[in-house]
Amino acid sequence: MNKKIAVLPGDGIGPEVTAVAVNALQRVAEKFNHTFTFEEGLVGACAIDATGNPFPEETLHLCQSADAILFGAIGHPKYDNDPTAPVRPEQGLLAMRKALGLFANIRPVNTFKVLADASPLKREIVEGVDFVVFRELTGGSYFGAKGRSEDRNSAYDTCTYTRDEIARITELAFTAAAKRRKKVTLVDKANVMETSRLWREVVQQYAANFPDIELELMFVDNAAMALIQNPRRFDVILTENMFGDILTDEASVITGSLGMLPSASVGSKVALYEPIHGSYPQAAGKNIANPMAAVLSAATLLETSFDLMAEGQALRNAVEEALNNGFVTVDINPTHHLGTREVGEKICSFV
Ligand code: IPM
Ligand code: MN
């Protein structure tokens, strides 16, 4: 198979973990006789530094011409405490999601046996957790009208959703549930928000056609609690943009390390794969970041965009083998750890 992969390393630890994922993909290509070509582009703070634009036109074209996108992370502390910055790295990510029509962010949460004691939750709560969050990614208050009043003493972020925006991600969530444990939990705030009531209407209508899939309705505050008390109860969580942003960060700590979780953003055409951990600027350039989430993102890329299931599994097995043999970074083992590159070499050797 011949494929072109756009590589957007981004900021912070993005370049280090992405480099490992690219090596791992190369290794897979050699082993399974594929040709993957990699082309790099700028996004985020590094793109602002180089071009003034957090998502340059050139990067957009690169993404549109690729068969899949491998993304690292964006963000830089110099923008975090400056509410007046005219351009921000995050705008690059949001513009990219919108421009590429990436309307669904898929974040699986499952546990690794050897990490059960690394979770802040008790082993008996964490063991066997296996759910996936479908977060709407191009609507809601992230993209609604926002601004200030003339005297600048009031501000607003409008949350809007259309039936179509809700329906298309609902379809993806139900399709996933049909192949899993056949349960969808719609998370909303329908006791307060009109948009949530529209979500309920659309999702309930859709669910009526799938009687073998259980639809559960849950308020977001209650879901925040249930994720900690009994995360095993979830199979597929379906939710809007902002709720999904918050709940997926919460969900990520269940596994014991934020450095283990991949994600996929999908839409109409090309899909994007990224670790969920963000740019972690304090660790940038130190060769300490965990590359496993990036490699698992690459595995998801192979499976989802190229339908290369055995190849994806080979990467997953390699990560598992490194993990089980203690070839891990400091976030997983503070006393016996390797660096990002060294863990990467081990993973590649296990492919
Ligand atoms: C994420 C991030 C982004 C979001 C930020 C960086 C804009 O937190 O991918 O979850 O809020 O969507
Ligand atoms: Mn987030």
Q: Give ipTM to 2 decimals.
A: 0.99
Same fold, 1-100+269-351 and 103-257: yes
| Residue 129: predicted pLDDT | 95
| Residue 114: predicted pLDDT | 86
300 vs 118: which has the higher pLDDT:
300
**Ligand 1 lined by 249 (C-beta under 6 Å):** no
Q: Which atom of ligand 1 is nearest to the CA of 105?
A: 9
Straight-line distance from the first to the last Cα atom of the chain, in angstroms, rounded to the nearest whole number: 18
| Residue 295: predicted pLDDT | 98
CA distance 28 to 348: 9
**Ligand 1 lined by 321 (C-beta under 6 Å):** no
* Candidate from 137, 245, 261 with most ligand 1 atoms within 8 A of CB, to mutate: 245
pLDDT digit string, tens, across residues 205-224: 999 999 999 999 999 999 99
**Distance from residue 223's CA to the centre of ligand 2 (Å):** 17
* Candidate from 90, 272, 277 with most ligand 1 atoms within 8 A of CB, to mutate: 90
List alpha helices for the chain, DSSP H. 14-32, 45-51, 57-64, 77-80, 89-99, 123-126, 163-178, 194-207, 220-229, 241-252, 292-305, 309-324, 340-350
pLDDT digit string, tens, across residues 271-299: 999 999 999 999 999 999 999 999 999 99
255 vs 73: which has the higher pLDDT:
73
Question: In terms of Cα–Cα distance, which of 244, 268, 228 is closest to 102?
Answer: 268
State the ligand closest to the CA atom of 279: 1
Mean pLDDT estimate for the chain: 96
- Does residue 76 carry a pLDDT above 90? yes
**Distance from residue 93's CA to the centre of ligand 1 (Å):** 8
Q: Domains of the chain: which residue ranges?
A: 1-100+269-351, 103-257
**Distance from residue 248's CA to the centre of ligand 2 (Å):** 7
Q: Which two structure tokens, joined as six digits, stand for 66?
A: 């690729």
| Residue 258: predicted pLDDT | 85
**Ligand 1 lined by 93 (C-beta under 6 Å):** yes
pLDDT digit string, tens, across residues 297-349: 999 999 999 999 999 999 999 999 999 999 999 999 999 999 999 999 999 99
Question: In terms of Cα–Cα distance, which of 146, 311, 125 is closest to 242?
Answer: 146
| CATH number for the domain whose boundaries are 1-100+269-351 | 3.40.718.10
CA distance 149 to 240: 26
Contacts of 285 (CB under 8 A, 6+ apart): 16
- Does residue 25 carry a pLDDT above 90? yes
Identify the helix (H) or strand (E) that includes residue 42.
none
| Residue 115: predicted pLDDT | 87
In the structure, ligand 2 is a single-atom ion and the residues with CB under 5 Å from it are 245
| Residue 118: predicted pLDDT | 85
Q: Indicate if 245 belongs to the active site.
A: yes
Q: Indicate if 221 belongs to the active site.
A: yes
Q: Which two structure tokens, joined as six digits, stand for 30?
A: 């050699």
What average pLDDT does range 57-78 have in this prediction?
97
**Whole-prediction pTM:** 0.94
| CATH number for the domain whose boundaries are 103-257 | 3.40.718.10
